[in-house]
Amino acid sequence: FSSSRKQGRQPQLEVPGKGSHRTMSEHHRGAWGTREDAVWWPGGISSTDQQTIQHHQHLLNQHHQQQLAQQQLQQHVQQQQQQQQQQQQQQQQHQNQTHVQQAQNNAIQNKMGAGGGGGGGGNRPVKDNKPRGRMTAYAFFVQTCREEHKKKHPEEQVIFAEFSRKCAERWKMLDKEKQRFHEMAEKDKARYELEMQSYVPPKGTVVGKGKKRKAFKDPNAPKRSLSAFFWFCHEERNKVKALNPEYGVGDIAKELGRKWSDMDAEVKSRYEQMAEKDKARYEAEMTEYKIKCKNEQGGQVQGQALNLGGLQNLHVQQAAAAQLQAQVQQQLAAQAAAAAAAAAAHHADDDDDDEGDEDDNE
């Protein structure tokens, strides 16, 4: 090729698949590249190359379609997730509203004594035969107001906030008017105490979370004083039980409450004197008990102080022993250093003697 160019002739190339040689000018517009290019390569596109390009384009189209399908699928999944989140939020809001409504209903029942019979209030779930709680005088008053309102307006719905406000205003009455509600509360208290005396918790009862543990009760503490009504119950309970053997604990408590309400003031005064005497006894014993506890606590503090003093003396002794040990170690170190210095001096003297002997020999 180089020799042909020097002579100014066209280079002779062998066309693939041909037996003859043809010049570059004959194939200048054919399947070969131009002469001016540095490298010779096929200039045209064969049918095989066209098929390859079409195949690649087809693959690119498929890939693009797959990407679009994936994007659509992701959008569909995101929409479903958003719908699920909205449904969950709606369910949560509905549950919260239901809980609030139930709490309001329970509060109304507890305040009004709905379904509570003679006291206690509220249709609470009963796990065992534990006696229902006692009611206060104000709770009996609210229950009475509710019953009166229900009789006068049977079809009217009670608004709790408005009803509570009106009850609070009506409760600002004279003490004489409140007396019957206090007596009802006293009877219910006696009923509760009597039932609790015979109450035995069932085995395996699970104590719910959030309940506070009872404070430790000292067995040596004085016994609390009893009220006048309780002294009366203490005397009359066995009599009522003997006259009515079929009565249960609740029936006995109701009968005792009825008899106490019908009792004359002169007869009640005897039990009130017994209650005052028992109260004085309790206060005197409680004063002695507190003094005793205070003295015992003082003894414990003094014992702790003695123990602390002993510990301090022990620390002082340990510090003195450590100081003495350090002094002994310092003395031993000084002795060792002195011995080493003496040995070194002796060795130096021996070397001087040896040098003198050598000089004499020379």
Same domain, residue pair 175 and 135:
yes
- Kindly tell me the sign of the dihedral angle through the C-alpha atoms of 318, 321, 325, 326: positive
In a domain, 83, yes or no: yes
Task: Give the residue-averaged pLDDT of 59-85.
Answer: 84
Q: What is the mean pLDDT of residues 42-69?
A: 74
Give yes or no: residues 5 and 83 share one domain.
no
Q: Which two tokens stand for residue 362?
A: 């020379």
Q: Are residues 70 and 178 in the same domain?
A: no
**Residue 103 belongs to some domain of the structure:** yes
User: Which pair of structure tokens corresponds to residue 188?
Assistant: 């219910």
Is residue 166 domain-shared with residue 60, that is, in the same domain?
no
Do 259 and 140 share a structural domain? yes
- For residues 259 and 136, membership in a common domain is answered with yes
**pLDDT (mean) for 239-265:** 83
**What are the residues whose beta carbons fall under 8 Å from the beta carbon of 139, sequence distance 6 or more?**
111, 113, 119, 121, 185
Q: How far apart are CA 166 and CA 172, in angstroms?
A: 10
Residue 54 has pLDDT above 60, yes or no: yes
Give me the number of domains the chain comprises: 3
Task: Specify whether 54 is located in the same domain as 173.
Answer: no
Question: Are 100 and 140 part of one and the same domain?
Answer: no
pLDDT, mean over the chain: 72
Q: Which residues constitute the domain of residue 105?
A: 45-112
Whether residue 304 lies inside any domain: the answer is: no
Strand partners of residue 13: 22
Query: For residue 1, is pLDDT > 80?
Result: no
pLDDT one-digit tens code per residue, 175-186: 888 888 998 888
Pick the more confident residue, 143 or 300.
143
Paired tokens of 183? 């007596």
Distances in Å between the Cα of 267 and the Cα atoms of 88, 93, 211, 273 are 68, 62, 42, 11
β-bridge partners, 281: none
Q: What backbone phi and psi angles, to 5 degrees, belong to 73?
A: -65, -40
User: Taking residues 84-98, what's their average pLDDT?
Assistant: 79
Query: Two tokens at 215?
Result: 């404070």
Region at 30 (left for phi over 0; alpha for psi -120 to 50; beta for the rest): beta
Asked if 49 and 145 sit in the same domain, the reply is no
Q: Give Cα 256 to chain centroid, integer Å.
A: 47
Flag the least confident range among 50-59, 116-125, 139-148.
116-125
